Structure 1
């Protein structure tokens, strides 16, 4: 079965879909023939959406731009009602929306901690909680964790959210397996999106550059991923070729976690 024939007439939801990884995932789903509910906080008239609109082209009816806060349960229930009314079966859910905060435990305020977990962890929980009931056997959920969810990282709230998302994935995979719905995570490393270079209260532009270069130096492939490379992994987990994979983490990190500390030691000693 081709990807195009598999997704024809089926719906998928992608959060954080206006830019970066989310846009790449939504683009791949559109190209595969899916009906895509593209969620983001950006208003529908923001030019950031133009790439998705251009891809949909004459078949614009397959692109549903939804302005939504993923931390709002009411928003998810509104979306669920819309999907039910439209009638296309929901075969894909990609929980991609997320924010970062490069602050340590003692630097992070409680309000900052709560806001980040609301988006990065509560959002995927609410999406699965509300939408899983609409998904038939064969459907798939992909949560976007991170290499920070596989190892230690100084960014306290972000790390906690990405580790927590892996736990949520496993719990949901166990619950939904009997219904034939699979749940997995992708764990990207360095990805070439604007977010990786964003200055913040702790990292000015200079330190943001050092953060970026440190990530690249810790990656055996010596580069960041193009967002479409992450989208390719997500499409694999969403589709029928991954039909016997559930409750799993897929690192898409250029070898960052696989190389571990010994990659850096090998480089320092001249063995690599």
Structure 2
């Protein structure tokens, strides 16, 4: 019989990138609540309100939280993380490559610096994280990469889509290499998640466009809603922990049925064969 999550995570540490807000913060909160020591990594300055909010969310688990300001797109940033893990002295059992940015532009609209920035954070950051921390991971540990439904199908946002498809490939290549140490590497593909990034206008032309994108994602989801970040955190905790001990090199859509419903979901609604919600 497997240990419960609290006893399993006691005396183990996990690194979570993009950990100061949104989905990453939810993962940090879930892991500290389970008893893990968590290294939350983000680029936001130490005095940012995002860190303050995270500490408040963690509450009594504050003693298990170590916040690290670092840029995951750089080797020096990951050296800072590795040093913190070594200095902590708590065995490293997991890595969540959650940090990511979006850019809602087509291929022809995207400049090379924009392309490089998205790739640097979303894909190169995960590569650097695995390369840097895999030697520190205890045998039997786990890595979770956060991709997207945009990494499972076509999407107009060229750089974002390419980075998320690439992250799935990186997941499988890493799983092959790390399997002899019984380190599993899996990928979560979220759909619409109600986070600040999804609801912001910083990657689109205006707030109206952001709302249209949000509502379009919701309408394409069988469950007719976005996920709460805690629902994604639960999936990450599952893939990091002992209950998924035989799950490896897998893509797990956590998308309310967005990908599974496919084009026929919308066709069925349009033709009236699938009834409207009450």
TM-score band, normalised by shorter chain:
over 0.9
Question: 1:249 corresponds to which residue?
Answer: 251
Question: 1:140 corresponds to which residue?
Answer: 142
Q: Distance in 2 between matches of 1:257 and 1:201?
A: 23
Is residue 235 of structure 1 aligned with residue 237 of structure 2? yes
Measured at CA, do residues 20 and 56 of structure 1 come closer, stay the same or move farther in structure 2, by a change above 3 Å? closer
- Counterpart pick for 2:32 among 30, 33, 43: 30
Question: 1:64 corresponds to which residue?
Answer: 66
Cα drift, residue 81 of structure 1 = 2.4
Normalising by the residue count of structure 1, what TM-score does the alignment of the two structures yield? 0.97
List aligned pairs for 1:105-144, cutoff 5 A.
105-144=107-146
SS at match of 1:162: helix
My pick for the range that moved more, 197-206 or 38-47, is 197-206
Would you say the 8 A contact 1:26–1:36 is kept in 2? Answer: yes
Measured at CA, do residues 76 and 215 of structure 1 come closer, stay the same or move farther in structure 2, by a change above 3 Å? same
List aligned pairs for 1:126-205, cutoff 5 A.
126-200=128-202, 202-205=204-207
Q: Distance in 1 between matches of 2:40 and 2:9?
A: 16
Would you say the 8 A contact 2:33–2:61 is kept in 1? Answer: no
Cα drift, residue 206 of structure 1 = 1.0
Would you say the 8 A contact 2:70–2:80 is kept in 1? Answer: no
SS at match of 1:136: strand
Would you say the 8 A contact 2:204–2:210 is kept in 1? Answer: no
Unaligned runs of 5+ in 1: none
Unaligned runs of 5+ in 2: none
- Counterpart pick for 1:225 among 224, 227, 231: 227
Would you say the 8 A contact 1:90–1:134 is kept in 2? Answer: yes
Q: Distance in 2 between matches of 1:217 and 1:166?
A: 25
Q: Distance in 2 between matches of 1:55 and 1:197?
A: 21
Question: 1:74 corresponds to which residue?
Answer: 76
Cα drift, residue 59 of structure 1 = 5.2
Cα drift, residue 142 of structure 1 = 0.2
Q: Distance in 2 between matches of 1:210 and 1:46?
A: 29
Cα drift, residue 85 of structure 1 = 2.7
Cα drift, residue 51 of structure 1 = 3.8
Would you say the 8 A contact 1:136–1:180 is kept in 2? Answer: no
Normalising by the residue count of structure 2, what TM-score does the alignment of the two structures yield? 0.95
Would you say the 8 A contact 1:30–1:55 is kept in 2? Answer: no
Cα drift, residue 47 of structure 1 = 2.2
**What's the RMSD between the two structures over aligned residues?**
1.2
Q: Distance in 2 between matches of 1:179 and 1:149?
A: 27
Structure 1 stretches of at least 4 aligned residues deviating more than 4 Å after TM superposition = 55-59
Count residues with an aligned counterpart. Answer: 272
SS at match of 1:223: coil
Q: Deviations over 1:199-237 (max 9, x none)?
A: 246431111111111111100100000000000000000
Cα drift, residue 113 of structure 1 = 0.2
Measured at CA, do residues 205 and 65 of structure 1 come closer, stay the same or move farther in structure 2, by a change above 3 Å? same
